[in-house]
Amino acid sequence: MADPERPQIYLVTPPAFDLDTFPDRLAAVLDAHEIACLRLSMATKDEDSVARAADTLREVAHARDVPLVIETHVGLVERLGLDGVHLADGSRNVRKTRKALGADAIIGAFCAASRHDGITAGEAGADYIAFGPVGSSALGDGTRAEHDLFAWWSEMIELPVVAEGALDAGIIAELTPVTDFFAIGEEIWGEEDAAAALGRLIAAME
């Protein structure tokens, strides 16, 4: 069983993967560690490719009682029997998405490093708020979601918060007391043994 005081793992797929081999890699990670949620986050905008991937990964995840959410593509959630959506544009579409998907769907909002956007997304009906990147990254405008943001959020706001982006063992150790989830993806998929790589990051929470 997961330690209730320890952040949970929110697993994120690579932006591109081979459907012949990735499901087995994913299954190995899900079998080795307790995963709270899986996010399908693909770079392609080809609907057939995304749908095929979602169908395949849904079977792997649901067989292990892990919910599967998809990044951005609200229109595919109900059609493909997914559990919800991760909105990458902050609070902008949370209210509309909640109305479209209903009360039971998981709706998360990525709010970069904006406390205000996070609060607005929560008030609009998001189930969790993700802040990031928490590590050094040249992506976006280089703004990091700092420890102070998570510390304030965990003290003042009940809505679960997710730390993501350029994570390493040191950052995980630092943020463990002030976040509810770590979203981990690229940090492990580049390793030959992704399950072992995730195990090393989880160990940093101790």
Mean pLDDT of the chain: 96
Q: Per this entry, what is the length of the chain?
A: 206
Per-residue pLDDT at 153 exceeds 60: yes
The contacts of residue 36 (CB under 8 Å, 6+ apart) are 2, 8, 9, 10, 66, 181
Instruction: Look at residue 140 in the predicted model and tell me its pLDDT.
Output: 72
End-to-end CA, the chain: 15
The arithmetic mean of pLDDT across residues 67-96, rounded, is 98
Query: pLDDT class for 1, splitting at 50, 70, 90?
Result: very low
On whether the CB atoms of residues 84 and 127 are closer than 8 A, the answer is yes
The arithmetic mean of pLDDT across residues 173-187, rounded, is 98
Q: Could you tell me the domains of the chain?
A: 8-169+176-203 (3.20.20.70)
The contacts of residue 168 (CB under 8 Å, 6+ apart) are 135, 187, 201
Per-residue pLDDT at 185 exceeds 60: yes
Structure tokens at 86: 């991760």
Cα separation, 73 vs 174, in Å, equals: 33
On whether the CB atoms of residues 109 and 120 are closer than 8 A, the answer is no
Task: Give residue-wise pLDDT tens across range 131-145.
Answer: 999 998 877 778 999
The contacts of residue 140 (CB under 8 Å, 6+ apart) are 112, 133
CA 119 from centre of chain: 18
On whether the CB atoms of residues 58 and 13 are closer than 8 A, the answer is no
Instruction: Look at residue 4 in the predicted model and tell me its pLDDT.
Output: 64
**Amino acid in the structure at residue 196:** A
Instruction: Look at residue 144 in the predicted model and tell me its pLDDT.
Output: 95
Instruction: Look at residue 142 in the predicted model and tell me its pLDDT.
Output: 81
Instruction: Look at residue 3 in the predicted model and tell me its pLDDT.
Output: 62
